[in-house]
Amino acid sequence: MLETIVPKSEYDSIMVVLGEHRGQVGRILQRDKNKCRAMVQLDRYEEKVFTLDYDSICHYVGAADR
Asked if residue 34 belongs to a domain, the reply is: yes
Q: Is 32 among the domain residues?
A: yes
Q: What is the pLDDT of residue 1?
A: 59
From CA 50, how far away is CA 2, in angstroms rounded?
A: 22
Domain of 49 in residue numbering reads as 13-60
List, for the chain, all residue ranges whose pLDDT scores fall below the cut of 50: none
pLDDT at 41: 95
As for how many domains the chain has, the answer is 1
End-to-end Cα distance, the chain: 25
Summarised one tens digit per residue, pLDDT across range 42-57 is 999 989 999 999 999 9
Domain assignment of residue 4, yes or no: no
Q: Is residue 5 part of a domain?
A: no
Adjacent-strand bridge partners of 15: 25, 58
Do the domain assignments include residue 25? yes
The CATH number that applies at residue 30 is 2.30.30.30
In a domain, 66, yes or no: no
